[in-house]
Amino acid sequence: MYYIDPHIHMVSRTTDDYATLSRMGCVAMSEPAFWAGYDRGSVDGFRDYFVQLTEVEPARAAEYGIRHFCWLCINAKEAENVQLSRDVLKLIPEFLDCPNVLGIGEIGLNKNTRNEAIVFQEHVELAIEHHQPVLIHTPHLEDKHQGTLMILDMLADHAQLPSERVLVDHVEEHTVKRVLDAGYWAGMTLYPVTKCTPSRAVDIIEMVGAERLCVNSAGDWGPSKPTAVPDLIMEMRRRGHKEKLIRKIVFDNPRAFFQQNKKFDLMDPAER
Ligand SMILES: [Zn+2]
């Protein structure tokens, strides 16, 4: 089955991973800007990273027939440095017209600090000013529930940002309904062992349905599995779910969310 991975950090993956994903049916992916595994020393480090996201990775992906899109921001971990964050915010508009940039992300919270919240809101204001969709990272483990509620509160203060143009990622059993009930899209990030496994994700789909719900692999510099979306497809088939429902989760939903930005012009491979 062909699919889209809506959240994968290819800068930290090998070329072999591109080949494997292509063989498994990945036709498009989106890469949110995130922590690179180390703190960058200056705004120039971000400029180089944005060039990597807008020029280098799309070319690498194209070698394997995969469309590569991205999102720009300074992530919550490095947002603790407010001055650096503001320098990066000033840099972002230069890149917003690049053909593969879909919006602002992944912004969010890491340890739910005051500085993170300030920088989160300044990103939301930037997105509103430039009419960009937003992709949001919610904190992991014990900080997730409180951090998700803080994020939903801050978004509620920015009514000019339509809820259907926001995807809140890394949802789990205890946060998914809050996100969907507020009108946002939700993303589940699949990890091989810890956090949300493919089987937990299928439980969640069975619990809340498939509307505005996507799945992704995160595939980053830490322990993660870039082929986690095909693992979810396998688990849904094992449980007897219909192909149409599986396709909605792994292709139709991310495509519908991304298509709100006209630059996402991916054809349905079945209609080509
Ligand atoms: Zn991420």
Delimit the domains of the chain by residue range: 3-260
Q: What is the mean pLDDT of residues 18-23?
A: 98
Q: Binning pLDDT at 50, 70 and 90, where does residue 207 land?
A: very high
Give the Cβ contact number of residue 140 at 10 Å.
15
Nearest partner of 105 among 18, 9, 41, judged by Cα: 9
Cross-strand partners of 214: 187
Give pLDDT, residue 156.
97
pTM above 0.85, yes or no: yes
Express each pLDDT in 41-96 by its tens digit.
999 999 999 999 999 999 999 999 999 999 999 999 999 999 999 999 999 999 99
**Chain mean pLDDT for the chain:** 96
Distance 229 CA to ligand 1 centre (A): 15
Q: How far is the CA of 219 from the centre of ligand 1 (A)?
A: 8
Which helix (H) or strand (E) segment holds residue 30: the answer is strand 26-32
- pLDDT band per the 50, 70, 90 thresholds, residue 272: confident
Task: Report the separation in Å between the CA atom of 208 and the middle of ligand 1, taken as the mean of its atom positions.
Answer: 23
Mean pLDDT computed over 244-248? 98
Tokens 């949110």 correspond to: 32
Closest CA to 57 of 46, 44, 68, 41: 68
Is residue 223's pLDDT more than 90? no
pLDDT in tens, 172-182: 999 999 999 99
**31-40, 42-51, 98-107 — which is least confidently predicted?**
31-40
Whether 12 has a pLDDT exceeding 90, the answer reads yes
Quote the ligand 1 centre to 215 CA distance (angstroms). 12
What per-residue confidence (pLDDT) applies to 86? 98
Task: Specify the fold of 3-260.
Answer: TIM Barrel (3.20.20)
Q: How many angstroms does the Cα of residue 7 sit away from the middle of ligand 1?
A: 6
